[in-house]
Structure 1
């Protein structure tokens, strides 16, 4: 964790925000989830791009149709006064029917959060999912799902199985999401996020301190 200014408790407060936000989403605690975001917060995931208010309302339907769990890795948190950037490794796990076969879908991503402190509380101002790769495996060995080459021909390698999974359930998954297969876009995303917080990027810090 890197803090240019702020109280000693701020890093822990941001960490608490990160863990409580995902717990609330996974448990369907919608009132708690709403308090994790600023009123103007925005969110981009595979299937959604809009305000946090809209995200929570649509998540209620997704929660019923496609239950999922999120496992968090160790976050990296950088703070400058009342603004912070948090990068959080995350694994999304879903089990359900895909073309008549029970499967497990696992997506490996990281979330890039912008957080703001107001009235003593930290909340997310913007959250963006960055996709790495994903897998789909049969829940019962020997019962693979039916897949065709055409299913994945135009899919991004960073989230192709997730795209197929969500599309089969009636959701639109655009091909313009952030992913490790498009590194130039990620560089611009990180530069913009750290500039918003008034922080040098980790690359810039490393260049000054070899």
Structure 2
């Protein structure tokens, strides 16, 4: 019953607000601004993302271990690919890049845009077994045609494929600021309102919500009963 209650709540908000950018980490928590100068390795997400100093250090250590198994020529060709792929765990959209919301567990390989994925397999297919142990992906990566592999790893929502999502102003312009979450108020034209929602469980075992009321106190709070 709790699941149906949650589904009802999400459905109502989808009706009211429509589809909006939804930053979310792999642990389903919100992305955050790391401490100043704490991100040394995954610099792409040093200002806002899902990794703190410890996470960044762990990824750096993993990278060093993988690089130690590469030749100088392989590192020269594939080092940048490896860093980018490892660091997608730090993306403010990591839950979408790894399709964590669309299955019992997140994918092991990040969701890539097809042109990037095609070039990756053409130039650095050796990285695939370094990043996943999924037999299907390993088998597909060996094929001469990269299409099936790339179609398999692409995210369910193609708007969140890497690296194209980082160039989408709807997803990244102002990310981490209050203005990112403000859009024209659907009910008060000419005004803006904050359309993000933070949820904290305060009770469970409830079911059959029948009403939702606006607080009308300027807080944008809504009560479901």
Fold-level similarity (TM above 0.5): no
Which structure is higher in helix share? 2
TM-score range, shorter chain: under 0.3
Which structure is higher in strand share? 1
Larger radius of gyration: 2
Structure 2 length-normalised TM: 0.24
Structure 1 length-normalised TM: 0.25
